[in-house]
Structure 1
Amino acid sequence: MALTIPTAYFSRCSASKETTTSSSSSPPRLVPRFWPWEKVKMGALSVSPMGFGTWSWGNQFLWGYREKMDGDLQATFNLAVDNGINLFDTADSYGTGKLNGQSEKLLGKFMREKRVRNDIVVATKFASYPWRLTPGQLVKACESSLDRMEIEKIGIGQLHWSTANYAPFQEKALWDGLVAMYDKGLVQAVGVSNYGPKQLLKIHDYLQSRGVPLCSAQVQFSLLSIGDDQLEIKNICDSLGIRLISYSPLGLGILTGKYTSSKLPSGPRALLFSQILPGLEPLLKALSEIAKKRGKTIPQVAINWCICKGTIPIPGMKSVKQAEENLALYILLFLFIISFSFSLFILIIIHNPIFFITVILLSALILAFLLWNVLNWRKQGAILIFLNSFPDSDLRLARDGQLVKITGPASCGIVALESSYEKVQRCVYTSTSVYEYKRFHLKPAMVNHGCFRWSLAYSESFSTDFYVTDTKTSTTVMVKAGNGAKVTPLIRENTLVNTKGKAKVLSPYLRKWLGEKNLSADPCLLRLDERYVKERSYVTVIGILRKSKDVIMIVEPPEVMSIGCLWKRFLLPVDINGLILRVPESSTLLA
């Protein structure tokens, strides 16, 4: 999600039992629940009415983290601090592989560089790993977190989850670990995360008997997640003086207002949203009306609702976009490993091969499903299905901002392109790719090598603004494909050079062209493909319609589109980035 600064809590909360408390000595508060400079009490601590979560920092598998993102994360952190945020939630398990603990490292680094180390309340969670069986091991985990962040004391030390359902013997040791780190002065307060109502009462009573106050309880809480458990936990927190921290206050992005049944996010969220969004139209409409009336955004209204319920929301400080490419495969791989290990255990211990064979067969089906999707992704099959199923638009009736599809002959605008290798002139789109024939260990292959693959060595693509005369309405439309616009081309590539299978000396022209592109001109196995859209070719374009008095334009969509799941063809969602430009293979040039 985009960063939402604390103007989310500038709006006035409604005077209800949940949001205000009135008595004979204290009249109802009719101003905003919190002013930007005000803090709320969390035990002995004072924190901002809204915090931020840092799960994505360091997580490569789910969130696509790369170290080059650190500059943007630092800027986002600085913006949040400058706008009054002083609560940041992290965990010792945030970060994958060699980046384990990276979230805490970055948070410590950002605090030092911003010089606000003493002003920030860090709420970090300690994972209930199976090997953390003693209080001392949890204390050691706390000390490791302190070292990673290079701070002397943690604001709130939290247990990440309860083990009561699968390892009840471990639970009390973890509770004693919280007591020990509090008594040693390593944390200012203690809290829990993902605890149910029963366990929340138990740990509160136990800590109270040890003289340690339970400061906070973190659960999923939003307009979409206010079930019986959440309401019971909220009531328990209110009665015991525990502050409720609400994560996922925007419901994975559903409550941002960016998505509708016809405009779904990319990746695995598309299927979930397609099932949920139709029933949420009244809620989203109400949020939109409130946001418009208050001069706020829909996310600000949704977050403000959590604040007015007396909770502290902690929306993430990074978009979920990077997760979507890898999330589905990551989950499938994890489930396969678990099921395979369990079935192998049954085969060895119980000598029952039926379950093992069943898992193997299911795994084969899953593998075939994934390979089918990879093959269709390479051939852009899903995008072609989307394009063919999308109806041709009537530009006379289409509204400004609508996604439209038109077909007609293309003509160059002010700038015309020339293809790089063939030197074909008067083009509106060109691309050239060079592939090297390599072995699987990525060394250059010889002619007689049997194990090989084509590896992309060089690629370039160019597009420019051009015109299309729509055959349906005879309207001439400018397609804004230049100036860095993103284009998804559905154009057949022409293989111009292919030295595979024969020891061929490269031609002087090819050697010269490779030299101009700073590519090696040594004799090797290579393939050169080129595709282009010439003037007067029939093209199909899908994009966003923009109307003005002087010109009608089609521009790229403002964000990535997703075609959703095509279950009848066993296809997962595919992202479409930018304009769709297609030239049918049977396309001919106008005379």
Structure 2
Amino acid sequence: MAQIKQVKLGTQGLVVPTIGLGCMGMSQWAGYDIYGKSADEKESIATIHRSLELGGNFLDTADAYGPLANEKLIAKAIKGNRQKYLIATKFGIEIDDNEQLTGKINGSRAYIRKAIERSLKNLGTDYIDLYYLHRLDTNTPIEETVDTMGELVKEGKVRYIGLSEVGSKSIKKAHAIHPLTAVQSEFSLFERNIEEIGIIDTLQQLDIALVAYSPIGRGFLSGEILKPEDLPENDSRRSMPRYQGERFFKNIALVKEITKMAEEKNITTAQLAIAWVLAKGHVPIPGTTKIKNLEANIASTEMALSKEDFDRLESIIPLGSDVGARYDEAGMKRVNL
């Protein structure tokens, strides 16, 4: 298998592989398995190591994943080889002194100072390559948050900064305080809202990269989920409107059309979904805990899509299609702000 190609992330100097590795699913979230299945720590670490062998050294995590457990797992995986990895982590989903999520968003100067020291300790490092605000704190001016993040860059604790799930107005305000390298948001054939409402246009105008999480539509674009019963009882996707009731079956019908196209190209549905994100010019960070899936995801970076492929895919799920909300009402109030 060929080594992953490299790409500039934004214009501030960070160079990363064209595809990263989302590590969230390697740990529980507040005691619950992300998709109803427990990940094996040894298998997860082996997947991280295999990714490095293939040139996939761009790992994505957050202090909230666990909370804190995911950063600690990554510390085990990169121990002795820190300089070979590019680590992106996030802060802002508030964690108290008892290491519990409070349910609040905190982007204040004092909390950032606390969060960065905790993440550095958990990751077993003295610097973070890319540090994101996980969600916008509507009670703290974005200027204060980004100014503090900029201070961390000057101090050498952080190399580059970014934001996650923010709107154009916040991006412009933040970028004026300190240059952003990347904005992370959910983006896939199933989730193109940031394209529809102009956020991607804003990023392109400012030369800020998009790091796309859930490029396989939270697993739906794998083609392996065909009925509600395929989701475990404690699977977080059961709470998402997109995967409930009649909407579930309408969306599965769309997936089947994409699967038909993938089969014609002799690739998997997931590979086709990732290739589409790559062809749009973004950096996907699909998550997996298994080496087999990792290798398939990385192989998608070698797959070129023609204009006819693009047109066909986007005729199956056109921009603006109503495929249902990706979060419940409370979750939707925290994105694109």
The interval holding the TM-score normalised by the smaller chain is 0.7 to 0.9
Map of 1:110 onto structure 2: 77
1: CA distance between counterparts of 2:24 and 2:256? Answer: 30
CA, structure 1 residues 290+215, in 2 after alignment: closer, same or farther (shift >3 Å)? same
1:486-529, CA deviations, whole angstroms, 9 ceiling, x for partnerless residues? xxxxxxxxxxxxxxxxxxxxxxxxxxxxxxxxxxxxxxxxxxxx
Task: Tell me the CA shift for residue 227 of structure 1.
Answer: 2.2
Unpaired runs of 5+ residues, structure 2, are 95-103, 291-329, 331-337
Confirm or deny: 8 A CA contact 1:261 1:274 kept in the other structure. no
Map of 2:181 onto structure 1: 215
1:77-88 paired onto structure 2 within 5 Å: 77-88=48-59
Query: What TM-score results when the alignment is normalised by the length of structure 1?
Result: 0.43
Map of 2:21 onto structure 1: 52
Confirm or deny: 8 A CA contact 2:60 2:89 kept in the other structure. yes
Task: Tell me the CA shift for residue 145 of structure 1.
Answer: 1.1
Alignment partner of 2:267: what SS?
A: coil
Map of 1:294 onto structure 2: 265
CA, structure 1 residues 204+72, in 2 after alignment: closer, same or farther (shift >3 Å)? same
The alignment status of 1:138 with 2:112, answered yes or no, reads yes
2: CA distance between counterparts of 1:228 and 1:123? Answer: 21
Percent identical: 27
Confirm or deny: 8 A CA contact 1:154 1:186 kept in the other structure. yes
Map of 2:222 onto structure 1: 256
Map of 2:123 onto structure 1: 149
Task: Tell me the CA shift for residue 273 of structure 1.
Answer: 4.8
1: CA distance between counterparts of 2:41 and 2:131? Answer: 25
What's the Cα RMSD here?
3.1
Task: Tell me the CA shift for residue 82 of structure 1.
Answer: 2.0
Q: Does 244-253 or 124-133 show the bigger shift?
A: 124-133
1:354-369 paired onto structure 2 within 5 Å: none
Task: Tell me the CA shift for residue 141 of structure 1.
Answer: 1.7
CA, structure 1 residues 131+193, in 2 after alignment: closer, same or farther (shift >3 Å)? closer
Confirm or deny: 8 A CA contact 1:57 1:102 kept in the other structure. no
Map of 1:63 onto structure 2: 33
Alignment partner of 1:174: what SS?
A: helix
Task: Tell me the CA shift for residue 80 of structure 1.
Answer: 2.0
The alignment status of 1:123 with 2:88, answered yes or no, reads yes
Confirm or deny: 8 A CA contact 2:4 2:54 kept in the other structure. no
Task: Tell me the CA shift for residue 248 of structure 1.
Answer: 1.4
Map of 1:316 onto structure 2: 287
Alignment partner of 2:84: what SS?
A: coil
Confirm or deny: 8 A CA contact 1:264 1:273 kept in the other structure. no
CA, structure 1 residues 180+305, in 2 after alignment: closer, same or farther (shift >3 Å)? same
Q: 1:224 aligns with which of 190, 204, 210?
A: 190
Query: What TM-score results when the alignment is normalised by the length of structure 2?
Result: 0.72
Q: Which amino acid aligns with 2:17?
A: S
Confirm or deny: 8 A CA contact 2:48 2:77 kept in the other structure. yes
Confirm or deny: 8 A CA contact 2:181 2:209 kept in the other structure. yes
Alignment partner of 1:63: what SS?
A: coil
1:335-362, CA deviations, whole angstroms, 9 ceiling, x for partnerless residues? 9xxxxxxxxxxxxxxxxxxxxxxxxxxx
Task: Tell me the CA shift for residue 163 of structure 1.
Answer: 1.5
Map of 2:306 onto structure 1: none
* Matched pairs, number: 275
Task: Tell me the CA shift for residue 275 of structure 1.
Answer: 2.5
Q: Which amino acid aligns with 2:134?
A: H
Confirm or deny: 8 A CA contact 1:219 1:230 kept in the other structure. no
Task: Tell me the CA shift for residue 89 of structure 1.
Answer: 0.9
Alignment partner of 1:236: what SS?
A: helix
Task: Tell me the CA shift for residue 245 of structure 1.
Answer: 0.8
Unpaired runs of 5+ residues, structure 1, are 1-6, 8-34, 208-212, 320-334, 336-591
Name the structure, 1 or 2, with higher relative contact order (CA <8 Å, separation 6+).
2
CA, structure 1 residues 162+229, in 2 after alignment: closer, same or farther (shift >3 Å)? farther
Q: Which runs of 4+ in 1 moved over 6 A?
A: 64-68
Give the structure with the larger strand fraction: 1
Task: Tell me the CA shift for residue 282 of structure 1.
Answer: 6.0
CA, structure 1 residues 144+204, in 2 after alignment: closer, same or farther (shift >3 Å)? same
1:110-509 paired onto structure 2 within 5 Å: 110-112=77-79, 115-129=80-94, 134-164=108-138, 167=139, 169-207=140-178, 213-227=179-193, 232-261=198-227, 264-267=230-233, 269=237, 272-280=243-251, 283-318=254-289
2: CA distance between counterparts of 1:73 and 1:298? Answer: 23
CA, structure 1 residues 274+201, in 2 after alignment: closer, same or farther (shift >3 Å)? same
Q: Which amino acid aligns with 1:63?
A: D
2: CA distance between counterparts of 1:131 and 1:71? Answer: 32
Confirm or deny: 8 A CA contact 1:218 1:247 kept in the other structure. yes
CA, structure 1 residues 310+231, in 2 after alignment: closer, same or farther (shift >3 Å)? farther
Alignment partner of 1:244: what SS?
A: strand
2: CA distance between counterparts of 1:281 and 1:134? Answer: 42
1: CA distance between counterparts of 2:263 and 2:39? Answer: 37
Give the structure with the larger helix fraction: 2
Alignment partner of 1:234: what SS?
A: helix
Task: Tell me the CA shift for residue 204 of structure 1.
Answer: 1.3
Confirm or deny: 8 A CA contact 1:104 1:145 kept in the other structure. yes
CA, structure 1 residues 63+282, in 2 after alignment: closer, same or farther (shift >3 Å)? closer
